[in-house]
Amino acid sequence: MDETAGGRAEEADAPIAQPGAPIISIRRVVKNYMRGGQTVEVLMGISLDIARGEFVALMGPSGSGKSTLLNLIAGIDKPTTGELLIDGEDITRLTESELAQWRAEKVGFIFQFYNLMPVLSALENVELPLLLTGLSRRERRERAELALEMVNLADRMDHTPNELSGGQQQRVAIARAIVTDPTILVADEPTGDLDRTSASEVLGMLQRLNRDLGATIVMVTHDARAAGAAQVIMHLEKGVLDSREVTVQIKH
Amino acid sequence: MFFLGLILRNALRHKLRSLLTLLGLVVAILAFGLISTVVGAWYANSEAASNARLVSRNAISLAFSLPISYKQKVRAVEGVKDVSYANWFGGIYKDPKNFFPQFAIDPESYLRIYRDYLLPEDDLRNFIRDRKGCVVGRRLADTYGFKVGDTVTLKGTIFPGDWELVVRGIYDGREAKTDTAQLFFHWDLLNETMKQKTPRRANYVGVYVVEIANPENAASISQNIDALFKNSAWETLTETEQAFQLGFVSMIEAIVVAIRFMSYVVIVIILAVMANTMAMTARERLSEYATLKALGFSPRFVAALIFGESLTLAAIGAVLGILLTFPAARGFSSLTGTLFPTMQVSDDTVVRQVISAVIVGLLAAALPAWRAARVRIVDGLRSIG
């Protein structure tokens, strides 16, 4: 593992952030929940931009709204008010079924607890999102195998999740997330359930996807080390963006 | 195929739970089928009844007889094609628990009308010639080991004495539901004996069996027959054979209804068990369903997974339960001997078993599927089952 300490981001290592319109544009987004008859305000009119090809970590104390914001970006929740443009499309205007289709095409998910289907093999888990495309069985298999090769799990494709370690399961989840070539990858505490070595492997994989494939990644994390893998760290505090810093990326 | 494979693997994921649920399903479907078969056995005679046959009996009660002299008058009624007669004998073969129907008949006319009793020509001829001869049904013969040539001794109860009859033939039923658990012997033998022992009981029959040319005229012919003997010492009550048979069932109708009700209670119980299983299963997998929805699968897909799993379990349970119903019915039949005329698992019973299983599968999954389809993705992802 090669750690680069202190100072500004090394421009030679940073991927090229695309000029022009941001891929994610959030404008005055408010999100409230009802809890026991009371309205709880989680996001208080937050606004931020994420450029295409950026690897962003969302950090903040518990209750700051970071996971809520990630859910909104991923299209699995809707803001109370505000505008949310992903790749030029205002997803707040989509119906539930349109949003489901949008997610299938545009979003790759990486969950803290992997969320793999226990009865499916690694290959079948990766193949799952491709069922929503028009690909033939053979094409689905080929793409799923390729995705597993990219995460160095080609030799485990017939194993079910309970036959894999935590780190391996998370790599399968990453393969599942990238198999449809999504516009954005959202990761909610992807290393939260992993030991240090596995966490480092996963973060390294995310960095390679960002660097080599130009993947736009938005990651929620509590872990400063995990956040250090990103190029940009956005701090949320009480439902608003508190700070945005370009980091010195820790290479994994 | 992927979808079906996912459903099947999910259905068998928790092997012990699936096995116990399947066991309950099998037992419930089997019990439902067996009870339906037993209830059906009670109605077997009425279902085997021909709509071209009428039965005339004493209007006061079946316990009273009718004069043999009525035969020609009945035969002369317009629309009547043939007439025969019979007496219920009610004897005991070795032990009172060895119950089977015994009738004293006029062989030629009776077996002419009841064409569903298939008897080889030679056996029929031998039976007609031997006044002490009898014919037995195949099921009766198999139960007690009767063979042609055997002497069967019946201890009379209604007609006292020991009656020795020689088996001259074994008849088979034209259809599966035909009663082959009966014994027929000569009415003439009965009558001759009555003339000697109890003359006042001679020349009487229990019922007349009337074959009519056109079943649509059953009501009018019945009325015409009864009109012949109205205000006589032996008034008749004539009805279709089916109505006559149903009259016996109506005597125990409350029991039959209760038994049929129990068969549906069994289905309701297994529905509750299945619903609990599916509710538990869906609750445990809420995060999986939320994940699928996050990936872009529709709520309908999630609901279909749950319905599919429930129907898979129901289908497996139904197939096993239905298959086991047949040997169970045979076992029950051997235990009850010739108490029931027939014990056939009907197509109708199998259809109702299938429908019951489908209803159980659908209803058990309904609420869990609805909940899983409606769960908010963020709430489902937080669920830990």
Count: domains in chain B: 2
pLDDT at A17 (0 to 100): 45
Three-point CA angle A168, A174, A180, nearest 5°: 140
Domain that holds residue B205: 60-234
| Interface predicted TM-score of the whole assembly (ipTM), two decimals | 0.88
Chain B residues close to A104, C-beta within 8 Å? 295-297
Q: Do B296 and A100 count as a contact with CB atoms less than 8 A apart?
A: yes
Has residue B319 got a pLDDT over 60?
Answer: yes
Within a domain: B51: no
pTM: 0.78
Q: Which phi and psi angles does B98 have, rounded to 5°?
A: -85, 65
Has residue A251 got a pLDDT over 80?
Answer: no
Segment 79-98 of chain A within 8 Å of chain B by CB: 97
- Mark whether B26 and B136 lie in a shared domain: no
Nearest to A205 by CA among A183, A173, A235: A173
In this predicted model, what pLDDT tens digit does every residue of B274-312 receive, in sequence order?
A: 999 999 999 999 999 999 999 999 999 999 999 999 999
pLDDT at B340 (0 to 100): 77
Choose the weakest-confidence range: A13-27, A55-69, B223-237, B361-375.
Answer: A13-27
Nearest chain A Cα distance for residue B287, angstroms: 7
Nearest chain B Cα distance for residue A194, angstroms: 18
Alpha-carbon distance of B46 to B242, in angstroms, equals 5
Domain that holds residue A224: 24-246
- Mark whether B165 and B195 lie in a shared domain: yes
Within a domain: B267: yes
- Mark whether B81 and B218 lie in a shared domain: yes
Has residue B377 got a pLDDT over 90?
Answer: yes
Asked if A117 contacts A131 with a C-beta cutoff of 8 angstroms, the reply is no
In this predicted model, what pLDDT tens digit does every residue of B205-224 receive, in sequence order?
A: 999 999 999 999 999 999 99
- Mark whether B205 and B349 lie in a shared domain: no
Count: domains in chain A: 1
Chain A residues close to B9, C-beta within 8 Å? 119-120
In this predicted model, what pLDDT tens digit does every residue of A79-112 receive, in sequence order?
A: 999 999 999 999 999 999 999 999 999 999 999 8
pLDDT at A19 (0 to 100): 53
Identify the H or E element spanning B323. helix B299-336
pLDDT at A14 (0 to 100): 39
Within a domain: A135: yes
pLDDT at A68 (0 to 100): 94
- Mark whether B218 and B137 lie in a shared domain: yes
Q: Do A101 and B291 count as a contact with CB atoms less than 8 A apart?
A: no
Q: What is the CATH number of the domain that holds A167?
A: 3.40.50.300
Alpha-carbon distance of B305 to A119, in angstroms, equals 13
Within a domain: B248: no
- Mark whether B27 and B81 lie in a shared domain: no
pLDDT at B69 (0 to 100): 95
Cα B280 from chain centre: 39
